[in-house]
Amino acid sequence: MKTEAILPYELALPARVIFEEGASKRLLAEAAAFGSRGVLAHSRSAEKSGALARILENKPHSLNVLCWRYRGGEPRLTDVEELRRVAFDFKANWLAGLGGGSVLDTAKAAAGLLTSDRPVVEYHDGTSLPQSAAPFLAVPTTAGTGSEATSVCVLTNPHTGVKKSFRHPSLFAKLVILDSLLLQTCPPSVLAASGMDALTQAIESFTSKYATWLSDQLASKAVELIASSLQPAYESPNTTHLKSLLTGSFLAGVALSHARLGVVHGLAHPLGARYGVPHGLACSVCLPHAIEFNRPAIGSKYETLCDLVGSDLLFFVEQLTLRLGIRSPFSGVPLRERDTIIEETLASGSTKANPRPVARDDVVWFLERIFNTDASQEQQTGR
């Protein structure tokens, strides 16, 4: 497999990125440039860790800020509806997200659709998004989804269980603050699962059929940084490792934003939504099978990836998963909604970017591996 294009057909990035330890304290001083009223969406853990308090302590007096606590779990359309109603009623000029990918995706979507009178579900179902209504500011507290680097929002429809993304070039953050100190209080299990998401995104964007020279530079550096820092950061979260992890996650986000992903994300979205499994965990379980499946299609890129991680890629990923204490939530569990999962995997834009074409039988092969079971037909004994 050889990357031929130098640049993607369109290059789009967040407007401004601050990469500095402790810089999150300046969030509200920076936000004041976007208007005197704003909503700060945050995770429960950002409140518990004291990160939110430190940001509010440094609020300029002239600024009116409403804090909105995210309920937790994977982001749903109803979360976006609620946040945009809160922000609209508050007459917010801007929205900021302080948290993991779920908080950032929710705040990004709510900022984009702040003044739209259409239900969010219409956009999730395919209606083109309007120009973003309000500036979005991103402060990630985990290193994983790379949401701060993209114009993508991954959301689940709670009524149908469908998890998919929408995007618009105007959804890019106007300001990103990458403050590795915020990762110090990230629980190890969250650090592990989100780090595996970042590693998956780096590998998938490096091997995507839409990869370019530019995305290869970003993705390969991301693989190197994440592979060398994830386990050490999980075992002992020192600043050097957390900084590498956050940098790698951001670079992977920029890479996927231009090269897209692969079949791991095609599978992880329906599996995560149908089984209530966190995204990073679903990615971790699918990644080794995708490496095995894609290996014949990626040629010398496999060797490059081995060089970047310092050993055979498949062996490295399997060992890393074990050392991070990640256990499959699918193994031995009855396979439910098989046909829906297959259809959603095949329809996914990520699956379409996979370096090796993915057919229906291939998805069955993946499901058999993931569930350790015969996936040739639906299993009736659901949970």
Which residues of this chain interact with Fe ion, rule CB under 5 A?
A: 197
Query: Which of 40/320 has CB closer to Fe ion?
Result: 320
Q: Give whichever of 52 and 320 is closer to Fe ion, judged by the CB atom.
A: 320
Between 84 and 265, whose beta carbon lies closer to Fe ion? 265
Of 134 and 254, the one with the shorter C-beta distance to Fe ion is: 254
Q: What are all long-range contacts of 351-354, with beta carbons under 8 Å and residues at least 24 apart?
A: 351/262, 351/263, 351/265, 351/266, 351/267, 353/204, 353/208, 353/209, 353/210, 353/259, 353/260, 353/261, 353/262, 354/204, 354/208, 354/209, 354/262, 354/263, 354/266, 354/290, 354/294
- Of 197 and 362, nearer to Fe ion (C-beta) is 197
Query: Phi first, then psi: what are they for 152, rounded to 5°?
Result: -105, 140
Among residues 45 and 147, whose Cβ is nearest to Fe ion? 147
Residue 38 or residue 280: which is nearer to Fe ion going by CB? 280
Closest residue to Fe ion: CB criterion: 197
Nearest of 48, 145, 27 to residue 95 by alpha carbon? 27
CB of 227 to Fe ion, least distance (A): 16
Exposure of 343 by Cβ count < 10 A (0-12 exposed, 13-18 middle, 19+ buried)? middle
CB of 119 to Fe ion, least distance (A): 26
How far, in Å, are 26, 69, 107, 289 from residue 102 at the CA level? 22, 12, 9, 26
Q: Could you tell me the smallest distance in angstroms from the CB atom of residue 91 to Fe ion?
A: 34
Q: Closest distance between Fe ion and the C-beta of residue 201, in Å?
A: 5
Q: How far is the CB of 279 from Fe ion (least distance, A)?
A: 6
CB of 108 to Fe ion, least distance (A): 15
Minimum distance of Fe ion from residue 101's CB (angstroms): 8
DSSP string, 72-113: -SS-BHHHHHHHHHHHHHTT-SEEEEEESHHHHHHHHHHHHT
Which are the contacts of 327, defined by CB distance < 8 A and separation ≥ 6?
A: none
Q: How far is the CB of 128 from Fe ion (least distance, A)?
A: 24
Fill in the amino acid letter for 269.
H
Question: Between 142 and 244, whose beta carbon lies closer to Fe ion?
Answer: 142
Tokens of 182: 């915020």
